[in-house]
Amino acid sequence: MTVEVNKGPTLGIRHLQALLIFITITSVYIGRLNVGVSVVAMTNAESTNPDFPEYDWTEAEKSYILSSFFWGYIITQFLGGYLCKLFGVKNVMFWATFASGVCSAVTPLFIGWGGWATYCGIRVLMGFAQGLIFPCIHQHLARWSPPEERNRLGALSHTGIEAGNVLSMFVSGMIAKGPMGWPGISYISAGVAFASCALWFVLAANNATESRFIGEAERNYIESSLKHKENYHNTVIPIPWRAIFTSGPFLALIVARCAETWGLSTLQAEIPAYMNGVLQMDIKDNAFFSALPFLAMWIMSYVYLIFADILLSGKCLSLTAIRKTFNSIAFWLPAATLIGIGFLDVDQKNFAIVLMTLSVGFNSGATIGSSLNSIDLSPNHASILMGIVNTAANVVPIVTPLVVGQVVSDNADRSQWQIVFIISSVIFFVGNCVYLLFGTAVSQPWDAEDFLQPQPIAGLEIGERQQEKSDSKMPIS
């Protein structure tokens, strides 16, 4: 007979933590990604609200603005991993999200004073704050998710990325067209971030043992499933740096995430400019159709999640096989559609929109495919692994807009955009090949809490046992 495990309520505090992560990701992604629509609105007032200032920025200056967020973002990834270990995820996430909201709130005030260079500076500071967040998220999931639910809770919380994409593009366009104009994009983004902070402050907890709202049954279920040593939550486990940086599966994950970030950042940052230039769509239509691919991504993320749950619960595929299968779909199908997009112009705008929607929609499988893989490899060092992965991967969005800025001198020139999309397709293809060859979802030996502790020497251990036997035979005086 199998012993039934009391998991507590079907919807418990662990699910609430996943929801809080979803809300936080959504809020910070709105602040991160609305820049694509904002820059178009600021430089083309006729297509939005002419009552607000228009700026004559060159394509190169626009590319600096689009990439500047990531100049700060890559600096604090390692720091985020350390801080959440030292001070707890709750505190670090709260202040990072709050600082991001402040950056959004002050943006309209400072742009009028310092122009595009000041805008870049604010975006760097926002990136600096948000760089702390994702290492904390992976640590939070590792502490709150029982292994059998980790894929589900991780995927559900990460759908905030797609929600943030949709809202940043669709709502931002509506705001820019309305009475608040382009400054309203920043003010509303700030309000969403501050509301997210309030929810996080009241409801979040670093782990199940610290939560004020969790029941005993759910707490015991989570803690027992994680199989930690006693006093685990008050212990800082030494980090096996050499083992991490010489791990084949981890290096393959870095390559895959860099490839993913290149392709997706091209679409996120450049879709508004491509639609405005090549497809000749005004800002209102641009915002709607820019958001449409990411709406498909949001919907498809739940489709992927359902299929992954069915395959795992039915034991049709191992977790490693699921990761690699979904990642292949998420990388190789967009690679094909991106090449097709490059051959279309204004006369085939509907077909171009369909291909872009399919490309981004299929790409949502990368969350289950590779994004959560750092927690598989090492739950104990999830924040550190995510810091390393995100540092490497987010060098890419610094380079991507700069490459686009060098290749695309005329937004209306389809042949220039064709080069941009072909580069992304090749990177998608090669990155997944590396992941297929060397990736895995199996926890690595260096995840063990005692990995860096001195191990007993076999001969010495035998000698000690023989001495114990000898001592036991000695007469008692």
Residue 32's nearest CA partner among 179, 169, 135 is 169
Q: What mean pLDDT is predicted for residues 11-23?
A: 94
Written as six digits, the tokens of 255 are 């390559």
pLDDT beyond 60 at 473: no
Whether residue 350 has pLDDT greater than 90 = no
Confidence band (pLDDT; 50, 70, 90) for 464? Answer: very low
| pLDDT tens-digit map of 184-242 | 899 999 999 999 999 999 999 998 889 999 988 898 888 888 776 666 666 677 889 99
Residue 202: which residues within 8 A CB-CB, separation 6 or more? none
**Residue 298 backbone phi and psi in degrees, to 5:** -60, -50
Burial call 195-230: b when 16+ CB within 10 Å, e when fewer? ebbeebeebbbbbbeebeebeeebbbbbbebbebee
pLDDT at 440: 95
Give burial (CB, 10 Å; 0-12/13-18/19+) of 419.
middle
Count of helices and strands (H, E) across the chain: 20, 0
- How far is the C-alpha of 52 from the C-alpha of 182, rounded, in Å? 8
Q: Please, what are the domains in the chain?
A: 13-466 (1.20.1250.20)
The answer to whether the CB of 208 falls within 8 A of the CB of 14 is yes
* Lowest pLDDT segment from 12-16, 220-224, 403-407: 403-407
From 293, 402, 262, 311, select the one nearest 358 (Cα to Cα): 293
> Are the C-beta atoms of 333 and 358 separated by less than 8 Å?
yes
CA end-to-end distance (rounded Å), the chain: 52
The per-residue pLDDT for 167 is 84
Q: Measuring CA to CA, which residue among 394, 418, 416, 399 is closest to residue 407?
A: 416
Q: How far is CA 146 from CA 15, 16, 368, in A?
A: 11, 14, 16
| Mean pLDDT, the chain, integer | 84
Reported as a single tens digit per residue, the pLDDT across 413-423 is 778 888 888 88
Give 19's pLDDT tier (boundaries 50, 70, 90).
Answer: very high
Taking the C-alpha atoms of residue 270 and residue 341, their distance in angstroms, rounded to an integer, is 13
How many Å apart are CA 140 and CA 94, to the nearest integer? 13
Give the Å distances, CA to CA, from 199 to 204, 332, 421: 8, 38, 40
Distance CA 251, CA 67 (A): 25
> 15 vs 450, which has greater pLDDT?
15
pLDDT of residue 304: 93
Global confidence as pTM = 0.79
With a CB cutoff of 8 Å and minimum separation 6, the contacts of 262 are 396, 400, 424, 427, 428
pLDDT reported for residue 439 = 94
Strand ranges (DSSP E) for 134-293?
A: none
CB environment 45-56: b (16+ within 10 A), e (fewer): bebbbeebeebe
Structure tokens, 462: 């035998």
Residue with the bigger pLDDT between 300 and 228: it is 300
Q: 454: number of CA atoms within 13 Å, CB side?
A: 3
Q: Tell me whether residue 143 is exposed, middle or buried, using C-beta atoms within 10 angstroms of its C-beta: 0 to 12, 13 to 18, 19 or more.
A: buried
Question: Has residue 53 got a pLDDT over 50?
Answer: yes
pLDDT tens readout for residues 54-67: 788 887 888 888 88
